[in-house]
Amino acid sequence: MTEILPNFIKNRALLTPDREAIVFNKESLTFKELYEKAYYRAGLLTAFGVKDTDYVGFLIKSDLETVLHLFAMQIIGAKAVLLNNRLTANEMTFQLTDANATFLITEDHFQETARQLAEELKISVYYKEGIEDRSYIEPIEKEQFSLADTCTIMYTSGTTGLPKGVIQSYGNHWWSAIGNTLNAGLYEKETWLCAVPLFHISGFSILMRSVIYGMKIVLHDGFNEHKVLQDIREERVTIVSVVTTMLERIEQATNEKFPAYFRYMLLGGGPATVELITRCINKGIRVYYSYGMTETSSQIVTLSPEDSIRKIGSAGKALFPAQLKIVNDLGEVLGPNEVGEIKVCGPNVSQGYLNKENHLKDGWFFTGDIGYIDSEGFLYVLDRRSDLIISGGENVYPAEVEAVLSEMEGIKEAAVIGIPDNQWGQVPVAFVVVDGSVLSEKSIMKNCEKSLAKYKIPKRVFFVSELPRNASGKIVRRNLREWVEEQKDF
Amino acid sequence: MTEILPNFIKNRALLTPDREAIVFNKESLTFKELYEKAYYRAGLLTAFGVKDTDYVGFLIKSDLETVLHLFAMQIIGAKAVLLNNRLTANEMTFQLTDANATFLITEDHFQETARQLAEELKISVYYKEGIEDRSYIEPIEKEQFSLADTCTIMYTSGTTGLPKGVIQSYGNHWWSAIGNTLNAGLYEKETWLCAVPLFHISGFSILMRSVIYGMKIVLHDGFNEHKVLQDIREERVTIVSVVTTMLERIEQATNEKFPAYFRYMLLGGGPATVELITRCINKGIRVYYSYGMTETSSQIVTLSPEDSIRKIGSAGKALFPAQLKIVNDLGEVLGPNEVGEIKVCGPNVSQGYLNKENHLKDGWFFTGDIGYIDSEGFLYVLDRRSDLIISGGENVYPAEVEAVLSEMEGIKEAAVIGIPDNQWGQVPVAFVVVDGSVLSEKSIMKNCEKSLAKYKIPKRVFFVSELPRNASGKIVRRNLREWVEEQKDF
């Protein structure tokens, strides 16, 4: 029997009304205020026509008004389709169409894109600004959730290149939050700083933890290491979610020891070097390295407090409610230190993609990532989805970029790999085989802008006569990587 | 879909093998050791014939060997029927028969009772002592649980007087543990002192929290306030579960301020006076007053940290996953400050009693307790199950005692109420109407010993010509209470 739980935000406001819930640009709300303001916005959305069965696109930045509208969705039980705001209009069109979204909630900043989407999709656009002029109808509040109810949709591309809408239920978010607590504890006056995007699971999961734990969030509208360091002291922050590039910049920006109440950096979104983690430890910054993805509703494997130094470089062990195994190509479970594909299961794992057949095998999700588990049970991730590129915390799927390149006039075929980059961790570069036309690196990059978010556009394009392929015709990306490494002047 | 979780004790040993799990009489085990020793006992039980489908009676005291055998049960997935060791053999016979128990796990101390039970019930008796001489068969380990699987059976009597076996699933225990954490937090090096019986939900729930949280338990084989105070310092205890009489004695036994790492006393099992809680606060002892019962797998309503002083006397609000309402006789939900019956629901609430029809109404459990919720949402419990007597943390159901008295030769009818007692909080006293025979108070008490645990035996028996009844023939216990209060020389 799927569990029924009281509506998270409503219940939290009932339990700890006067506790501080969120701070954004010095504006602070208690849980009671957060709930009441979200409830009011639920009324505005209701008057706008949004019902519990609707899928509603969110094209937003991180601010208080966004948070209030996201919780308003939960009050009426409507489903939020969170768009990465760095995508192109074409990419968004695909996702909103696939999700059959009937509304788009956005803000003035994205007016131009929103107008384009409205025209193409016949979707109603609601602007966060000017809410005082909107009409209000008492919302039909969801008193409780079944944990199987859909809460959010976030798109990932996977190896096929075509974005798939990950269905995240209230239960997925709930169990993710509980798994985190059982690993890292939950302190009185816990305060989590969110400088990662709310449209990512990294940011959105902090919102969910806030109402489940009764925990204060310090929300930033973007990442600035100096502002992070300042708020750690001024707002007594205990936890910060970071990706490698953010951690690097925070570590570089300070020489002071962190205050004793600061608990840890939750590091996700791709590998960090042992060297960086060591530097952090030397400055008294505890780092919990973790492994997770949109399909696992945030971290699923995290290093425990007591192992964070001894097992440096490992992603840790599965969170309590989850399970983890390494399998070979035949699906057979491998032993300690044997390298294979990482498969995971647990109540935080998404049960499926929108409009797709069930992708789980006996409840297990095959991540496509490569790694091994040592004799003590610690996971080491060697390669994310074999060819996944993580650039500044964003996922770039080679297959998606390759598809765009291959469709360009004059290009016969293309391959994309990630190469190390000091600023972004990794950046994509492309190898193309032309059909005889005359093409320039610049014109190809320019051409990509229509279809690809900026972070997905190759930073370099190399022209080659053919792509290295193995016997079965698959591109051998390893060879391309080696070739790039050999280019001294790159 | 009911969630599947990895076997708690096995998973905990995998996640934090070297963390301290339990201390008993200066002997300490890590989670790895706890698991390995429990696993070994699972093999002994397997050789003894215990299978996952079996219901196994536990007639035990609180010690390390008991804990190991309780976890051994979870390794093979067999169900533990936890007997209150203060019951008479007759009472135990009823429970073991009702549960269709095929085995009894006990210890030398209870040999006499065990022999009696073995004779009557044709049950196989396993003694905790001398395990080195037992044969061993590799156990079939349960790798994972469905949260709907039955973990334990504990008997309560309710108002009918006949004991009912409360079915507690792994999910009930899990959600109870999670609800506690979301209210009270979870700290690194959390340490919970257990001086309440393991056969009660108060003690057993600490065992479950230990493996779910990865938390150390300090186990005592009985309650001694001086030993509690000593271990709070020596073992750096952060939490102690107490009933009112225990809290009273702890408070009386110390004049020192509690150490800063000590977090709180979790107070359950009946009302405490505001005066006692105030005395504790003055000594720096934080008390979280809570309300719960066997059917809710421990606390379901608890006072939050920030309200523990401001709302003194209240049991608090429902734990996050649970819900709470006050209803009148017609089942209609009442408003703030209106007195009625307390009903609760949530994933920690037992789904039923053994061999009984489902007792929930639309998922709600009607507690029989009387109380009200104030305008801020805080519960005040006025009367436990209207006539339930709580004596030293043990439940005494008047109906059960009345049934025993009424069956005695010479007694026409009987009524039992609880009266205030300095040592035990409350004690039962009886009123009997005789049929013309000559009976003495002493002989009646003596007669009770066969069928009733000592704490259930009336401390006084009053002879009356008739019992006060209302129009519909129900005994008016209030009148009996008033009558006792008027007796100056009582």
Compute the nearest-CA separation of A42 from chain B (Å): 23
pLDDT digits (tens, 9 = 90+) for A415-461: 899 988 888 888 999 999 998 788 899 999 999 998 899 999 999 99
pLDDT digits (tens, 9 = 90+) for A337-372: 998 899 999 999 999 999 998 889 999 999 988 889
| Residue the block writes with tokens 């070297």 | B18
d(CA B267, CA B239): 10
Element housing B327 (H / E) = strand B323-327
Q: Are the beta carbons of B1 and A2 separated by less than 8 Å?
A: yes
Q: Which residues of A touch B213 (CB under 8 A)?
A: 182
| Residue the block writes with tokens 């006499």 | B112
Per-residue pLDDT, averaged over A62-83, amounts to 98
pLDDT at residue A308, rounded to an integer: 75
Residue A51, beta-bridge partner list: none
Q: Are the beta carbons of A3 and B187 separated by less than 8 Å?
A: no
Neighbouring CB atoms inside 10 A of B469's CB total 13
d(CA B436, CA A63): 83
pLDDT confidence tier of residue A44, bands split at 50, 70 and 90: very high
DSSP line for B60-99: --SSHHHHHHHHHHHHHTPEEEE--TTS-HHHHHHHHHHT
Q: Are the beta carbons of B186 and A188 separated by less than 8 Å?
A: no
Nearest alpha-carbon partner for A123 in A96, A145, A98: A96
How much is the CA Rg of chain A, to the nearest whole Å?
23
pLDDT at residue B245, rounded to an integer: 83
pLDDT at residue B240, rounded to an integer: 98
pLDDT confidence tier of residue A108, bands split at 50, 70 and 90: very high
Chain mean position to CA B478: 27
End-to-end CA distance of chain A: 58
Nearest alpha-carbon partner for B69 in A224, A405, B59, B236: B59
Q: Are residues A71 and A32 in the same domain?
A: yes
Q: Which residues of B touch A15 (CB under 8 A)?
A: 304, 317-318, 320, 377
DSSP line for B404-439: HHHTSTTEEEEEEEEEEETTTEEEEEEEEEESS---
Q: Are residues B363 and B412 in the same domain?
A: no
Q: Are residues B376 and B427 in the same domain?
A: no
B484: Cβ contacts below 8 Å, ≥ 6 apart: B417, B419, B429, B490
Q: For an interface test with A, give the residue of B10, B182, B211, B307 to mutate (most A CBs within 10 A).
A: B182
Compute the nearest-CA separation of A128 from chain B (Å): 31
B40: Cβ contacts below 8 Å, ≥ 6 apart: B72, B136
Size of interface A-B (CB pairs under 8 A): 91
Residue range of the domain that includes A481: 389-486
Q: Strand A103-106 and strand A124-127: pairing?
A: parallel
Q: Are the beta carbons of B148 and A1 separated by less than 8 Å?
A: yes
Element housing B298 (H / E) = strand B298-302
State which residues of chain B have pLDDT below 70: 1, 157-161, 270-271, 305, 383-386, 470-474, 487-490
d(CA A263, CA B312): 32
Give the end of a domain, one of A363, A380, A397: A380
Domain count, chain A: 2
Comparing alpha-carbon positions, the chain B residue that sits nearest to A324 is: B6
DSSP SS3 for B161 = coil
pLDDT digits (tens, 9 = 90+) for B90-109: 999 999 999 999 999 999 99
Neighbouring CB atoms inside 10 A of B485's CB total 11
Q: Are residues B395 and B350 in the same domain?
A: no
Compute the nearest-CA separation of A364 from chain B (Å): 12
Q: Are residues B354 and B472 in the same domain?
A: no
Q: Are the beta carbons of A187 and B182 separated by less than 8 Å?
A: no
d(CA B435, CA B422): 34
Give the end of a domain, one of A351, A380, A409: A380
Name the token pair of A304. 């425990």
pLDDT at residue B470, rounded to an integer: 64
Compute the nearest-CA separation of A20 from chain B (Å): 12
Q: Are the beta carbons of B182 and A212 separated by less than 8 Å?
A: yes
Report the percentage of chain A scoring pLDDT > 70. Answer: 95
d(CA B113, CA A375): 48
Q: Are residues A375 and A393 in the same domain?
A: no
- State yes or no: pLDDT of A281 exceeds 90: no
Q: Which residues of B touch A304 (CB under 8 A)?
A: 15-16
Nearest alpha-carbon partner for A215 in B411, B186, B279: B186
pLDDT digits (tens, 9 = 90+) for A190-212: 999 999 999 999 999 999 999 99
Q: Which residues of A touch B2 (CB under 8 A)?
A: 1-2
Q: Are residues A296 and A398 in the same domain?
A: no
pLDDT at residue B277, rounded to an integer: 83
Per-residue pLDDT, averaged over A291-308, amounts to 89
Give the end of a domain, one of B380, B411, B446: B380
Q: Are residues B453 and B358 in the same domain?
A: no
CATH of the domain at B468: 3.30.300.30
Residue B127, beta-bridge partner list: B106
Alpha-carbon torsion (B72, B77, B83, B89), positive or negative: negative
pLDDT at residue A369, rounded to an integer: 87
pLDDT at residue B110, rounded to an integer: 97
pLDDT at residue A98, rounded to an integer: 97
Looking at residue A288, its amino acid is Y
Q: Are residues A131 and A28 in the same domain?
A: yes
Compute the nearest-CA separation of B294 from chain A (Å): 20
Dihedrals φ, ψ of B81, to 5°?
Answer: -100, 105
Residues in chain A: 490
| Residue the block writes with tokens 């135990």 | B92
CATH of the domain at A237: 3.40.50.12780
Per-residue pLDDT, averaged over A390-410, amounts to 84
d(CA A323, CA B11): 9
d(CA B57, CA B98): 11
Compute the nearest-CA separation of B411 from chain A (Å): 49
- Letter string b/e over residues A438-451, b meaning 16 or more CB atoms within 10 A of that residue's CB: ebeeeebbebbeeb
pLDDT confidence tier of residue A95, bands split at 50, 70 and 90: very high
Nearest alpha-carbon partner for A194 in A62, A98, A14, A87: A62
Q: Are residues A365 and A429 in the same domain?
A: no
Dihedrals φ, ψ of B356, to 5°?
Answer: -125, 155
Q: Strand B323-327 and strand B317-318: pairing?
A: unpaired
Q: For an interface test with B, give the residue of A12, A169, A182, A264 to mutate (most B CBs within 10 A).
A: A182
Return the DSSP state at B8. Answer: H
Per-residue pLDDT, averaged over A367-392, amounts to 84
Comparing alpha-carbon positions, the chain A residue that sits nearest to B145 is: A321
Nearest alpha-carbon partner for B324 in B359, B367, B295: B367
SS (H, E, C) B434-462: ECCCCCCHHHHHHHHCCCCCHHHCCCCEE
Q: Which residues of A touch B1 (CB under 8 A)?
A: 2, 148
Nearest alpha-carbon partner for B285 in B313, B324, B248, B245: B248
Q: Are the beta carbons of A182 and B186 separated by less than 8 Å?
A: yes
CB contact at 8 A, B38 and B12: no
| ipTM for this prediction | 0.85
Instruction: Name the residue facing B182 among A17, A144, A213 (closest C-beta).
Output: A213
pLDDT at residue B270, rounded to an integer: 66
Compute the nearest-CA separation of B146 from chain A (Å): 10
Q: Are residues A357 and A399 in the same domain?
A: no
CB contact at 8 A, A413 and A433: yes
Per-residue pLDDT, averaged over A80-105, amounts to 95
Q: Are the beta carbons of B14 and A188 separated by less than 8 Å?
A: no
Q: Are residues A395 and A369 in the same domain?
A: no
A233: Cβ contacts below 8 Å, ≥ 6 apart: A259
